[in-house]
C-alpha cells in the first residue's frame, strides 16, 4: 500500500505533527500513527477530512492503492459468499441431524447407536459456527468495509458508503451479530420442528 508513506509525506509538507493532524480530523495520534505504519487504513470519512486538511485529493492519497483495494474487495466478497453458504449448509445439516436423532430416540435406538448421529450434529454445528466466526474475522482483519466504501466512493457511490457507516448494524456490530445468530437459530428450530413432525408419522 502506498497511502502510509504518502500520508506521512503530505503531513510533513503541511508542517503538521501527528498530534496536530489528529486533532484537526478528530482522531487520536495513535490512529494517525497506525495509518502511517500501514497497520490500519482510514475510512472514507477520514480520507475526506485528510484531503481537506492536507490540501490534496482523495485520488492523490490513495493513488497506487486503488487496484489493490478493488482486488481485495472482490476476493474477500467471494470468500464471504462461500463462508455464508457454508454456514447455511452447516445449519441445515445440523437441523436435519438433530431431527434424525430425535427420530432414533423415539423409536428405541440405544445410546451407542445414536452416537454417530450426535457426532455428525456436533460437527455440522461447529462447522457453521466456524464459518460465521471466520467471516467476521475476515471483515475486521482485512478492513473490508473500509475498502468497500473507498471503492464505492471512487465509483461515485458516496451515498451508499455513508449509509454503510451510519447504519444501525455498523454502530452496534456485536448486537447485530447476536440478532443474526438468534434469527438463524430460530429458523433452524422451525425447520427442526417441521422435519421432526414429518418424521413422527413414520
Per-residue model confidence as pLDDT tens digits over 176-198: 666 666 676 666 666 666 666 66
- How far apart (Å, rounded) are the C-alpha atoms in residues 79 and 199? 36
What is the average pLDDT score of the chain?
81
Place of cell 456485536: 174
Q: Locate the domains of the chain by residue range.
A: 3-62, 67-199
At residue 112, the pLDDT reads 87
Cell, residue 112: 451407542
- How far apart (Å, rounded) are the C-alpha atoms in residues 151 and 159? 12
DSSP string over 32-61: HHHHHTTSS---HHHHHHHHHHHT--HHHH
At residue 163, the pLDDT reads 45
- How far apart (Å, rounded) are the C-alpha atoms in residues 171 and 162? 12
Say which range, 10-24, 57-71, 72-86, 144-158, has the weakest mean pLDDT: 144-158
Q: Nearest 10 degrees: CA dihedral of 128, 129, 134, 137?
A: 150
CATH number of 3-62: 1.10.260.40
Amino acid at each position: 500500500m502506498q497511502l502510509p508513506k504518502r500520508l506521512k509525506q503530505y503531513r510533513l509538507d503541511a508542517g503538521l505533527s501527528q498530534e496536530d493532524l489528529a486533532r484537526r480530523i478528530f482522531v487520536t495520534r495513535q490512529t494517525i500513527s497506525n495509518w502511517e505504519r500501514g497497520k490500519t487504513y482510514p475510512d472514507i470519512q477520514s480520507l475526506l477530512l485528510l484531503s481537506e486538511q492536507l490540501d490534496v485529493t482523495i485520488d492523490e492519497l490513495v493513488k497506487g492503492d486503488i487496484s489493490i483495494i478493488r482486488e481485495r474487495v472482490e476476493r474477500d466478497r467471494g470468500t464471504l459468499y462461500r463462508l455464508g453458504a457454508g454456514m447455511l449448509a452447516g445449519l441445515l445439516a445440523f437441523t436435519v441431524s438433530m431431527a434424525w436423532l430425535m427420530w432414533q430416540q423415539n423409536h428405541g435406538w440405544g445410546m451407542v447407536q445414536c452416537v454417530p448421529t450426535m457426532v455428525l450434529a456436533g460437527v455440522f454445528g461447529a462447522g457453521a459456527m466456524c464459518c460465521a466466526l471466520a467471516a467476521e474475522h475476515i471483515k475486521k482483519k482485512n478492513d473490508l468495509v473500509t475498502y468497500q466504501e473507498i471503492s464505492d466512493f471512487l465509483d461515485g457511490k458516496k451515498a451508499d458508503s455513508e449509509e454503510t457507516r451510519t447504519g444501525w448494524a455498523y454502530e452496534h456490530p456485536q448486537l447485530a451479530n447476536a440478532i443474526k445468530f438468534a434469527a438463524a437459530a430460530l429458523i433452524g428450530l422451525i425447520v427442526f420442528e417441521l422435519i421432526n413432525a414429518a418424521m413422527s408419522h413414520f
